[in-house]
């Protein structure tokens, strides 16, 4: 069922040119618990960044981070670092937002509370890595690919206003 709806299937992306799967997989979830975890994480870390960047730039960061996460998984699978697997979920997007925060705060560390927020973001990353280690059904590669993509975006971002 998930495959028909657009799950990330590396063989379909590479072999059949179904590049839309890089995007659609981000909106599919196994169940309400899976969706709930992603929504809760986004609810906690998203609003302050959205306030800082603006809604449209936040949404663009979210989507580009997610696509970066799926492209990373495809690349690592093609390099035979990962075994082929179908993936779904928005956690690469969410980790991308964490990465945007990290890159943004590192670049703008002179801002009000920036250093404390950066330490909080590093704690979130550490907790996620531990969760990934002990939860084999999650894609650590998607999380890290989203995080790295988001970090690169965050380094380039300017606040919509200078108070953050």
Q: What is the CATH number of the domain that holds 35?
A: 1.20.1540.10
Euclidean distance between CA atoms 20 and 67, whole angstroms: 10
Q: Is residue 38 part of a domain?
A: yes
53-57's contacts with Cβ under 8 Å and 24+ in sequence apart are 53/100, 53/104, 53/157, 53/159, 53/160, 54/160, 57/157, 57/160
CB 147 within 8 A of CB 95: yes
pLDDT band at 108 (very low <50, low <70, confident <90, very high): confident
8: left (phi over 0), alpha (psi -120 to 50) or beta: beta
Which region among 83-92, 108-117, 150-159 has the lowest average model confidence (pLDDT)? 108-117
Q: Is residue 162 part of a domain?
A: no
Instruction: Note the pLDDT of residue 162.
Output: 53
Euclidean distance between CA atoms 12 and 160, whole angstroms: 39
CB 110 within 8 A of CB 77: no
Q: Is residue 3 part of a domain?
A: no
pLDDT tens, residue by residue, 54-79:
999 999 999 999 999 999 999 999 99
User: What range does the domain containing 122 cover?
Assistant: 31-82+90-156
Euclidean distance between CA atoms 106 and 150, whole angstroms: 13
Q: What is the pTM of this model?
A: 0.92
Euclidean distance between CA atoms 148 and 92, whole angstroms: 10
Catalytic residue check, 11: no
Q: Is residue 110 part of a domain?
A: yes
Instruction: Note the pLDDT of residue 163.
Output: 47
pLDDT band at 161 (very low <50, low <70, confident <90, very high): low
Structure tokens at 80: 């035979």
How many structural domains comprise the chain? 1
Which residues, listed in sequence order, are joined to residue 8 by a DSSP beta bridge? Answer: 87
| 138: phi then psi, degrees, rounded to nearest 5 | -95, 160
Q: Is residue 112 part of a domain?
A: yes
Q: Is residue 121 part of a domain?
A: yes
* pLDDT above 80: residue 151: yes
Annotated catalytic residue: which of 69, 91, 139, 145?
91
Catalytic residue check, 162: no
Q: Is residue 9 part of a domain?
A: no
Euclidean distance between CA atoms 63 and 97, whole angstroms: 10
Q: What percent of the chain has pLDDT over 90?
A: 85
Q: Is residue 48 part of a domain?
A: yes
């Amino acid at each position: 069922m998930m495959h028909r709806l657009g799950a990330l299937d590396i063989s379909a992306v590479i072999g059949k040119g179904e590049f839309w799967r890089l995007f659609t997989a981000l909106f599919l979830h196994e169940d309400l618990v899976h969706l709930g975890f992603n929504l809760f994480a986004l609810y906690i870390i998203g609003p302050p960044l959205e306030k800082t960047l603006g809604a449209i730039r936040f949404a663009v960061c979210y989507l580009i981070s997610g696509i970066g996460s799926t492209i990373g998984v495809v690349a690592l699978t093609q390099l035979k670092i990962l075994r082929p697997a179908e993936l779904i979920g928005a956690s690469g997007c969410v980790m991308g937002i964490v990465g945007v925060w990290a890159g943004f705060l590192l670049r703008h560390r002179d801002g009000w509370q920036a250093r404390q927020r950066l330490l909080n973001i590093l704690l979130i990353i550490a907790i996620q890595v531990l969760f990934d280690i002990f939860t084999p059904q999650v894609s650590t590669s998607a999380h890290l690919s989203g995080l790295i993509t988001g970090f690169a975006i965050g380094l380039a971002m300017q606040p919509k206003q200078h108070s953050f």
